[in-house]
């Protein structure tokens, strides 16, 4: 069974790479390609290495509105406007009893075109991002397995990479001034350097698939909305993300120990939780599954630092947050943007120290922490944003700011002063 976009090709450069680049970016996802495009645009010789050929499947299809500003800087807004990706104007929540909240329409709080975003097939979106980085002057190889990052004392100096496929594989060592780790949840450098720590409160797991002809709201303003639906007892929750071609991404997330029980298949887990979610049952009446079931561990984690001497971590390679608010692509783009500017500053000052390359970390981590607190509140038994806003209506705009991703706005985190009793002790 299959659904979604038709495959397209990406041509790889099969010759040997140069022996030296200014910056080597490991990983061609949204974080890596954002950083590479901007670094190359600054005029620095940039290489992107990825071990997986494009196009490739990836979950995480929903863009939150604040991605607009990074995408505008990258010059991609017009291309997105011309795409077939469904337009997303809002997010909506559905209780365990099937009661639907009024949608949070983003443009009611920010009268700007950035308040309309998109639901994307990630293979197409990631390809668009990679093509853009190449247009800006980056060199890209998607048949390149990075074997190691080499250090002189504590300074990253070069990488060892295996290029090609099959019998034509060759190993090469390439020098650089900065290594950017954008390897996603494999977290290549953070794992090797022992920097990762898992959030003990957010050890979740997910089962998801894709369905044709799932029910969509008929209003054009609502048909592309992301919908978050609780199950009975709030032991798990479903996402509903409309995609092109009348396909919908639907997944269920809950505590690992609850979701994955001995002897159950992914389909059985999905069906078990679906039976406990009246809101999703209604939307799947008459729908047909068109891809296999997928599973993943959504363990939230963070690295203790985002940079060292000659190296930087961005996107999921630095940290990952539970997917309930669809923040992954936004954080990938934003960290790539922050890192690119810091790397350019390093070249301008000839200072490739941790302090310069990681100068953006505190600001970025502050934003991540606000998202994390919102996730904690979502998972708190008995907590409801609807009830919270009835008691504290003055924080409605703060909540919408967080939902759209405006986490770097002054005082947006004031909402959490009224949520202290639902946030875990850290």
3-state secondary structure 378-421: HHCCCCCHHHHHHHCHHHHHHHHHHHHCCCCCCCHHHHHHHCHH
- What's the DSSP call for residue 217? -
CA dihedral 315, 316, 320, 324 (to 10 degrees): 80
CA dihedral 338, 340, 346, 349 (to 10 degrees): -90
Question: Roughly how many angstroms between the first and final C-alpha of the chain, as a whole number?
Answer: 45
Domains and CATH numbers, the chain: 85-116+199-299 (3.30.9.100)
pLDDT at 420: 83
Residue-level pLDDT, tens digit, the chain, 426 residues = 567 654 443 434 456 799 999 999 999 999 999 999 999 999 999 999 999 999 999 999 999 999 999 999 999 999 999 999 999 999 999 988 888 888 999 999 899 999 999 999 999 999 999 999 999 999 999 999 999 999 999 999 999 999 998 888 999 999 999 999 999 999 999 999 999 999 999 999 999 999 999 999 989 999 999 999 999 988 999 999 999 999 999 999 999 999 998 899 999 999 999 999 999 999 999 999 999 999 999 899 999 999 999 999 999 999 999 999 999 999 999 999 999 999 999 999 999 999 999 999 999 999 999 999 999 999 988 888 888 999 999 999 999 999 999 999 999 999 999 998 778 755
- What's the DSSP call for residue 51? S
Nearest C-alpha neighbor of 197 from the set 356, 426, 425, 364: 426
CA distances in angstroms from 81 to 41, 72, 163, 182, 330, listed in the order given:
23, 11, 36, 27, 18
The pTM of the full predicted model, rounded to 2 decimals, is: 0.95
pLDDT at 426: 56
Dihedral sign from CA coordinates of 392, 394, 396, 402: negative
Q: What is the C-alpha to C-alpha distance for residues 314 and 157, in angstroms, rounded to an integer?
A: 18
Q: Looking up tokens 């500053």, which residue turns up?
A: 345
pLDDT at 6: 44
The CA-based angle 182-185-188, given to 5 degrees, is 55
pLDDT at 381: 85
292 burial level (CB within 10 Å; 0-12, 13-18, 19+)? exposed
pLDDT at 12: 46
- What's the DSSP call for residue 263? T
SS3 289: strand
Q: What is the C-alpha to C-alpha distance for residues 202 and 298, in angstroms, rounded to an integer?
A: 8
Q: How far is CA 370 from the centre of its chain?
A: 16
């Amino acid at each position: 069974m299959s659904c979604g976009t038709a495959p397209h090709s990406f041509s790889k450069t099969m010759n040997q790479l140069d022996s030296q680049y200014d910056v080597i970016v490991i990983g061609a996802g949204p974080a890596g390609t954002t950083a590479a495009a901007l670094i190359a645009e600054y005029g620095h010789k940039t290489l992107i290495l990825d071990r997986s050929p494009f196009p490739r499947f990836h979950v995480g299809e929903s863009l939150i509105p604040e991605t607009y500003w990074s995408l505008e800087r990258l010059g991609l807004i017009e291309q997105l406007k011309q795409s077939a990706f469904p337009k997303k104007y809002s997010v909506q929540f559905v209780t365990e009893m099937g009661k639907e909240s009024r949608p949070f329409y983003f443009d009611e709080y920010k009268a700007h075109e950035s308040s309309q975003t998109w639901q994307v097939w990630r293979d197409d979106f990631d390809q668009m991002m990679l093509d853009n980085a190449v247009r800006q002057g980056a060199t890209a190889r998607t048949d390149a397995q990075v074997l190691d990052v080499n250090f002189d004392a504590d300074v990253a100096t070069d990488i060892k990479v295996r290029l090609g496929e099959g019998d034509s594989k060759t190993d090469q060592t390439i020098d650089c001034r900065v290594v950017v780790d954008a390897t996603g949840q494999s977290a290549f450098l953070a794992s090797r350097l022992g920097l990762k720590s898992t959030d003990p409160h957010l050890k979740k797991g997910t089962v998801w698939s894709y369905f044709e002809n799932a029910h969509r709201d008929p209003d054009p303003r609502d048909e592309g909305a992301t919908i978050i639906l609780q199950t009975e007892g709030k032991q798990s929750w479903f996402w509903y993300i409309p995609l092109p071609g009348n396909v919908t991404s639907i997944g269920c997330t809950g505590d690992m120990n609850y979701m994955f029980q001995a002897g159950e298949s992914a389909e059985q887990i999905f069906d078990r939780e679906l039976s406990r979610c009246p809101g999703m049952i209604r939307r799947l009446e008459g729908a047909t599954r068109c891809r296999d079931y997928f599973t993943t561990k959504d363990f939230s984690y963070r690295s203790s630092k985002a940079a060292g001497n000659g190296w930087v971590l961005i996107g999921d390679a630095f940290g990952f947050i539970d997917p309930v608010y669809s923040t992954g692509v936004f954080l990938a783009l934003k960290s790539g943007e922050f890192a690119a500017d810091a790397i350019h500053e390093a070249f301008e000052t000839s200072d490739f120290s941790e302090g310069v390359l990681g100068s953006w970390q505190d600001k970025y981590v502050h934003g991540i922490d606000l998202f994390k607190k919102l996730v904690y509140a979502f998972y708190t038994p008995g907590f409801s944003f609807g009830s919270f806003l009835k008691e504290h209506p003055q924080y409605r705009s703060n909540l919408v700011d967080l939902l759209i991703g405006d986490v770097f706005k002054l005082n947006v985190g004031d909402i959490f002063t009224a949520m202290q009793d639902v946030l875990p002790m850290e």
